[in-house]
């Protein structure tokens, strides 16, 4: 009934064993290769299998017995499609995929807060481990479920308590480095374009620093403020060029109060800011300097080369994968904090002489 209605049900390994005249255990071993089998037997089993159209052990049954499903859940806090719009996340996924593949595992996409109820959540999916991405408070909830299920967890860019390995970045220090660079170039009037301050944030000026609940945003902001305590900050609604463009327009709106440099918290934002600057008739970097963050390749930004902080996004993913692998082995995984590298491009230059 519940079976694929081809009338007859698929062959099982017992069927194959019977057909081959061996015991199920032997047949099983032929497929798993856990134990040596004589060539003759192997041949017989394999022949029987293909005769019956048996394509290998049912993963469901295997995973039950093994206690492993070969699936690592990746939990996002945003709409799945949105997550992949972010090149950094994409790169991380890449690294993650790289790292779990040799483990024989695949990546299951999960949403943090499933809206339509019935979806597969942390609770119902056959996961071996989970990787949480992001840092908003929302993840806390997911975290509890997962920890309760006794599944190894790793958190990327977020804080999940001390018992959960964390893959992070030296956001504050890195951002401070970029800020110092600008300071050294003589800049004093600075505007900051930040990533969203909160989930569901609408773009707008950031007057109250405490309003920032997203860790990454807060840390990078702090780094910038370390050097320029008086800088103004405008928070975008996402890491997109268009958001940066909108922010840039705001920032360059009043000719009398134009900053000489803009610190953007992502390369995409920076690209938008540059475009806004061009629109406002400002040359980059002669009239205004712009720094980014991430070190990704912004498609279509040429000939500009962003002055930015290069973060090892792929490595972060890979590290998360490695941590998962370790935990699966029973070895406790340590938190890792990656370091960004400052890269000077052609979007920053000496502060223009005072008008």
Partner DNA sequence: CGAGACGGCCGAATCGATTCGACATCACGG
Partner DNA sequence: CCGTGATGTCGAATCGATTCGGCCGTCTCG
- Contact set with DNA (CB under 7 A): 1, 9-10, 12-14, 21-26, 28-29, 31-32, 34-38, 40-41, 54, 57-58, 60-62, 64-67
CA distance 204 to 195: 11
Is residue 290 within 8 Å of residue 301, measured between CB atoms?
no
Is residue 92 within 8 A of residue 167, CB to CB? The reply is no
The interface with a copy of itself within residues 229-248 (CB under 8 A) comprises: 240-242, 245
Of 90, 136, 180, 232, which lies in the binding site for a copy of itself, with binding defined by CB under 8 A? 90
Integer Cα distance of 336 and 171 in angstroms: 13
Of residues 215 and 242, the one with the C-beta less far from a copy of itself:
242
Among 51, 109, 184, 253, binds a copy of itself (CB under 8 A): 109
Helix axis angle, 215-227 to 171-184, nearest 10°: 30
Structure tokens at 287: 């009239």
Candidates 193-201, 226-234, 249-257, 295-303: pick the segment binding a copy of itself (CB under 8 A).
295-303
**24, 126, 186, 345: residue in contact with a copy of itself (rule CB under 8 A):** 126
- Report the partner that residue 237 touches, choosing among a copy of itself, DNA, none (CB closer than 5 to 8 A by kind): none
Judged by beta carbon, residue 75 or residue 192, the one nearer a copy of itself is 75
DSSP assignment of 231-251 equals -EEEE-SSS-HHHHHHHHHHH
Asked whether position 253 contacts a copy of itself by CB under 8 A, the answer is no
Q: How many residues at the interface with a copy of itself, by CB under 8 A? A: 71
Look at residue 330 and give the partner it binds from DNA, a copy of itself, none, a contact being a CB closer than 5 to 8 Å depending on partner kind.
Answer: a copy of itself
Q: Which is nearer to a copy of itself, 260 or 347 (CB)?
A: 347
79 binds a copy of itself (CB under 8 A): yes
From the list a copy of itself, DNA, none, pick the one residue 334 interacts with, judged by a Cβ distance below 5 to 8 Å according to partner type: none
In whole angstroms, how close is the CB of 85 to a copy of itself at the nearest point?
A: 6
Euclidean distance between CA atoms 244 and 263, whole angstroms = 11
Label residue 183 exposed, middle or buried (CB < 10 Å: 0-12, 13-18, 19+): middle
**Closest by alpha carbon to 197, among 207, 187, 184, 185?**
207
Binding residues among 304-323 for a copy of itself as defined by CB under 8 A: none
Q: What distance in Å separates the CA atoms of residue 147 and residue 92, rounded to the nearest whole number?
A: 23
Q: Which of 222, 169, 115 is CA-nearest to residue 337?
A: 169
For residue 302, give every residue at least 6 positions away whose Cβ sits within 8 Å of its Cβ, in sequence order, or none: none
* Minimum separation from the CB atom of position 108 to DNA (A): 19
Q: List the single partner that 38 binds among DNA, a copy of itself, none, CB under 5 to 8 Å by kind.
A: DNA
328-333 own/partner pairs: CB under 8 Å, 24+ apart: 328/68, 328/103, 328/128, 328/129, 328/152, 332/165, 333/152, 333/154, 333/165
107 forms part of the interface with a copy of itself (CB under 8 A): yes
For a copy of itself, which residue of 38, 118, 208, 229 counts as binding (CB under 8 A)?
118
DSSP symbols for 95-141: HHHHHHGGGT-EEEEEETT-TTSSS--TTTS--SEEEEE--STHHHH
Q: Does 10 bind a copy of itself (CB under 8 A)?
A: yes
State yes or no: residue 3 binds a copy of itself (CB under 8 A).
yes
Q: Which of residues 35-74 bind a copy of itself (CB under 8 A)?
A: 53, 55-56, 58-61, 63-64, 66-71
């Amino acid at each position: 009934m519940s079976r694929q209605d081809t009338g007859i049900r698929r062959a099982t390994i017992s069927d194959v064993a019977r057909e081959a005249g061996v015991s199920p255990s032997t047949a099983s071993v032929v497929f798993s290769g856990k134990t040596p089998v004589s060539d003759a037997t192997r041949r017989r089993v394999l022949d029987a299998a293909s005769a019956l159209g048996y394509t290998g052990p049912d993963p469901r049954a295997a995973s039950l017995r093994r206690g492993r499903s070969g699936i690592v859940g990746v939990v996002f806090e945003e709409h799945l499609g949105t997550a992949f719009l972010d090149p950094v996340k994409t790169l991380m996924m890449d690294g993650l995929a790289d790292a779990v593949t040799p483990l024989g595992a695949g990546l299951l996409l999960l949403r943090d807060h499933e809206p339509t109820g019935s979806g597969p959540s942390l609770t119902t999916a056959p996961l071996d481990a989970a990787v949480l991405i992001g840092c908003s408070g929302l993840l806390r909830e997911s975290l509890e479920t997962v920890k309760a299920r006794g599944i190894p967890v790793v958190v990327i860019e977020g804080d999940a308590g001390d018992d959960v390995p964390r893959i992070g970045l030296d956001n504050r220090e890195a951002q401070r480095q970029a800020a110092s660079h600008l300071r050294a170039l003589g800049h004093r009037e600075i505007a900051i374009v930040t990533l969203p301050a909160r989930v569901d944030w609408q773009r707008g000026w950031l007057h109250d620093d405490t309003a920032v609940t997203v860790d990454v945003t807060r840390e990078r902001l702090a780094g910038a403020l370390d050097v320029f305590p008086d800088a103004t900050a405008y928070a975008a609604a996402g890491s997109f060029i268009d958001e940066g463009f909108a922010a840039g327009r705001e920032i360059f709106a009043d000719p009398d109060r134009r900053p000489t440099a803009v610190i953007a918290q992502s390369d995409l934002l920076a690209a938008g800011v540059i475009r806004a600057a061009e629109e406002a008739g400002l040359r980059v970097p002669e009239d205004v300097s712009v720094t980014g963050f991430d070190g990704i390749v912004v498609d279509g930004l040429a000939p500009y080369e962003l002055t930015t902080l290069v973060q090892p996004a792929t490595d972060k993913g890979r590290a998360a994968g490695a941590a998962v692998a370790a935990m699966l082995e029973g070895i406790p995984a340590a938190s890792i904090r990656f370091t960004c590298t400052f890269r000077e491009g052609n979007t920053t230059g000496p502060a223009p002489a005072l008008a």
